[in-house]
A and B are shown apart, each in its own frame.
Chain A
Amino acid sequence: MAIKVLHHGLATTVQDLGRPGYFHLGIPVGGAMDRYAMRAANLLVGNDEGAAGLEAVFIGPKLEFTEDALVAVTGADMPAKVDGVAQPGWTAFEVKAGQTLTFDFLKSGARICIAVSGGIDVPEALGSRSTYPIGALGGFNGRPLAAGDELPVGSGSLASEGKSVPEAMRRKPGMPAELRVLPGLYWHRVTEQSQENFFADEWKVANEADRMGYRFKGGRKLDFVEREQPFGAGSDPSNIVDSCYPYGSIQVPGGTEPIILHRDAVSGGGYFMVGTVISADMDLIGQLQPHTPTRFVKVTMEEALAARGDRRAALTRLREALA
């Protein structure tokens, strides 16, 4: 069983739930930007949640199937078509041998997850099939898909055709998008006024938004508390002695444009960070398009943990709904 890539879309990569354990060597966890959507897609087609699927951003790929398979598309609203016939999102549908899967224009969100029964069966690298393109590691030959590629697919069953995630369980960012942030790390480096402004201002997703990080524009510039720069930090007040960067951490080079690091994050560097997006909201970031108005919402650790608990409960309900 294989899938022939007729067109790669914009940037389509093989992703699973990531490759934890190597961040101390600069190799990020990677994996689907929208983990909930990837888990849902896999459950819909009868796979393990951690099976490898495809993640496509903004434009879907064109894929020809060599054998019958069950497919589900979740995440962004980008309608799938089988030989030109529209298919519902968040629902398992069959693609027969010789048929071609294409996609309509993106209506909302940014990234789709495509799961195929049996999973994309590329070899594991460091315990994961996720693609880390900078390191040419994992996925299909360590890179995004290209026309002419043939993706190996594991063996699955067609048992669950028609299964669907209930509408209320399909998670989407609001408008404006709200991302909950726990202030910390080098938060003390900016003035109280700038701390207030950061959460009061409306930001917009910039064009530089990818799997490594999402940049935001439009809020007021942050002012720094004056200090003599520590040895080794560099002369700009936004510089620090190079440290690790948490996933979801928000660095603001020069105090102007916040950047949230995501699944393919660089593991460290010399810019100060104001805080970190909480784990419950990481999935939402991958569904933000450029120019999306976004607010950062200040939360406490207890609120972050409660939100995490809510997401865990939502995942349990999803598993029950698709069991």
Chain B
Amino acid sequence: MTTRYSFGGDEHLFVECSEEMSLEAFFKSLSMAKGVRESGIKGVTEICPANASFQIKFDPDIIHPDDVLKEVKAIEGAAAKAEPVLKTRIVEIPVFYNDPWTHETLMRFRERHQDPTGTDLDYGARINGYGSVDDFVGAHSGSPWFVSMVGFVAGLPFMYQMVERQRQIQVPKYLRPRTDTPRLTVGHGGCFGCIYSVRGAGGYQMFGITPMPIFDPTQTTSYLRDFMVFFRPGDIVKFKPIDRDAYDQAVEDVDKGLFAPPIREVTFDLREYQKDIDGTNAKLEGVLHGH
């Protein structure tokens, strides 16, 4: 992994930890971004972690761009030596796969899709070598995901599944982006999953919908009163397939302020994960369910 630095105009420094996506590259970017934040470089105003890169915004009236570069490069060495251990949280997100709302939307935009004869789930299952949509949903919800970036629009998580590369689900984006996507659609593009935090345009394949709001500018949702955005980079997500009745119940609970997503604190060690992926994931799930 060679780190590449480039300026985005006179106010941004872009740091690419790796050209290709991997959990190692994500960890490096998260660890460097953390290092930059903790070093409190004068004039640095924002630090945005992404999947395998991160971006720093600075005020060149306060610090010369070359000095930002020098300070961040110095942090790279220390970040490489840091223990790849992350104290984070795991959260269970219910998903109603193959729901009527994303289905209606995907039918409406069928002419923009690679395979107009089926659904996005049919397509995803087929090109990833799964015999059935059920098997595909089983893989999607079977292993947890890292929130590797929050952004695009307010509060939208990009997620990278915690499985070997050959088991990563990969799908192209729509041939032409849709002008509409239901709020809280669970989508997938490239190797990344996402949850659309708001209704709007989108190009990711649509697999289902969650009843759990993840962005609330009114801050009235019970678990979003402290802050309007739910996700943070480094969160771990486990999807739980639910049916229509459970979905309706969850929506009602959200409205009544009774919905509480299961969340547990966890410590994730990349080395342990690399040695035994399924074992590490099983342990994480154990923590989620209170064993």
Contacts and interface: CB of A to CB of B under 8 A. Distances in A.
Interface of A: 20-21, 23-27, 125-126, 132, 134-137, 142, 182, 184-185, 187, 230-235, 239-244, 246-249, 266-270, 273, 275-280, 301, 304-305, 308, 312
Interface string B19-60: 111100000000000000000000001111111111101001
A137 B149 contact: no
Q: Which has the most chain B C-beta neighbours within 10 Å: A126, A135, A187, A278?
A: A135
Nearest to B191: A232
B7 interface: yes
A142 B14 contact: no
Contact of B7 (A137, A184, A239): A184
A308 B154 contact: no
A182 B47 contact: no
A10 to B, nearest CB: 19
24 contacts: A20-B45, A24-B49, A26-B156, A26-B197, A132-B154, A184-B9, A230-B18, A232-B20, A232-B191, A241-B18, A241-B190, A242-B158, A243-B52, A244-B54, A244-B55, A247-B11, A248-B11, A266-B153, A267-B48, A267-B153, A270-B190, A304-B9, A305-B60, A308-B10
A51 B54 CA distance: 32
Contacts of A246: 8-9, 11-12, 14, 55, 57
B186 to A, nearest CB: 17
Given A23-B57, A266-B152, A301 B10 contact: yes
Contacts of A25: 150-151, 154-155, 229
Contacts of A268: 48, 50, 149, 151-152, 158
Contact of B198 (A24, A134, A241, A248): A134
B34 to A, nearest CB: 12
B173 interface: yes
10 tightest Cβ-Cβ pairs between the two chains A and B: A232-B21, A246-B8, A276-B9, A230-B20, A267-B151, A244-B55, A26-B151, A246-B12, A135-B154, A24-B48
Interface in B115-149: 149
A301 B55 CA distance: 17
Interface string B168-184: 00001100000000000
Given A243-B50, A267-B152, 4 more contacts: A132-B154, A135-B198, A232-B22, A234-B172
Interface residues of B, number: 55
Contacts of A24: 46-49, 150-151, 233
B149 A308 contact: no
Given A137-B217, A231-B191, A232-B192, A248 B46 contact: no
Given A26-B156, A135-B215, A231-B191, A279 B9 contact: yes
B230 to A, nearest CB: 10
A308 B229 CA distance: 34
Given A20-B46, A242-B149, A244-B54, A184 B8 contact: yes
Nearest to A229: B20
B279 interface: no
Contacts of A312: 61
B65 interface: yes
Given A142-B217, A232-B190, A241-B51, A182 B9 contact: yes
A277 B9 contact: yes
Nearest to B230: A25
B76 interface: no
B53 A182 contact: no
B200 interface: yes
A185 B8 contact: yes
B7 A235 contact: no
- Most chain B CB within 10 A, of A249, A267, A269, is at A267
B189 A266 contact: no
B152 A241 contact: no
Contacts of A185: 6, 8, 14
A23 B46 contact: yes
B16 interface: yes
A269 B152 contact: yes
A243 B158 CA distance: 11
Contacts of A135: 153-155, 198, 215, 217
B151 A244 contact: yes
B165 interface: yes
Contacts of A276: 7-9, 12
B53 A241 contact: yes
A293 to B, nearest CB: 23
Nearest to B148: A242
Contacts of B57: 20, 23, 246
B150 A26 contact: yes
A36 B31 CA distance: 37
B121 to A, nearest CB: 20
B190 A244 contact: no
B24 to A, nearest CB: 12
A322 to B, nearest CB: 21
A134 B153 contact: yes
Given A244-B151, A247-B11, A233 B20 contact: yes
Contacts of A230: 18-21
Interface string B189-232: 11110000110100000000000000101000000000011000
Among B53, B153, B160, the one with the most A-chain Cβ atoms within 10 Å of its Cβ is: B153
A56 B50 CA distance: 34
A278 B8 CA distance: 9
A143 B64 CA distance: 38
B51 A243 contact: yes
Nearest to A126: B228
Nearest to A135: B154
